[in-house]
Amino acid sequence: MKNLVLLLSLLMIPNTFSCDADGNSGFMPENDMRIPVGAKNANNMTEKRFNEIIDRVEEVYTPIIKEKGGILKVKRKWSDDTVNAYAQQFWKWWSVSMFGGLARHPAVTDDGFALVICHEIGHHIGGAPKIGRRWASNEGQSDYFASLKCFREVFGSDDNITIVKNMNVDPYAETQCRNSWSNEEDVALCIRSSMAGKSLATLLAGGSRSVNFKTPDTSVVGRTDDKHPAGQCRLDTYFQGALCEISLDEDVDKNDATVGTCNRSTGHDTGIRPLCWYKPGV
**Any domain includes 215:** yes
pTM above 0.85, yes or no: yes
Judge contact between 173 and 194, C-beta under 8 A.
yes
Predicted confidence (pLDDT) per residue in 117-160, tens digit: 999 999 999 999 999 888 999 999 999 999 999 999 999 999 99
| Amino acid identity for residue 100 in this structure | G
Chain centre distance of CA 146: 4
**Any domain includes 95:** yes
pLDDT at 17: 45
Judge contact between 200 and 112, C-beta under 8 A.
yes
**Any domain includes 277:** no
| Amino acid identity for residue 118 in this structure | C
Pairing relationship of beta strands 93-99 and 85-90 according to DSSP bridges: antiparallel
Q: Which residues pair with 85 in a beta bridge?
A: 98
pLDDT at 265: 95
Pairing relationship of beta strands 85-90 and 16-18 according to DSSP bridges: antiparallel
pLDDT at 208: 57
**Any domain includes 254:** yes
Beta sheet of 93-99, edge-to-edge order: 16-18, 85-90, 93-99, 71-77
d(CA 50, CA 42): 13
How many separate domains does the chain show? 1
| Amino acid identity for residue 224 in this structure | T
d(CA 123, CA 70): 13
pLDDT at 206: 83
**Any domain includes 138:** yes
Neighbour count for residue 220 (Cβ, 10 Å): 11
Which domain does 186 fall in, by range? 32-266
**Any domain includes 274:** no
Mark the ranges of the chain whose per-residue pLDDT is less than 50: 1-24
**Any domain includes 25:** no
Q: What percent of the chain has pLDDT over 90?
A: 87
pLDDT at 84: 98
Residue 57, CB half-sphere, CA atoms under 13 Å: how many?
30
**Any domain includes 158:** yes
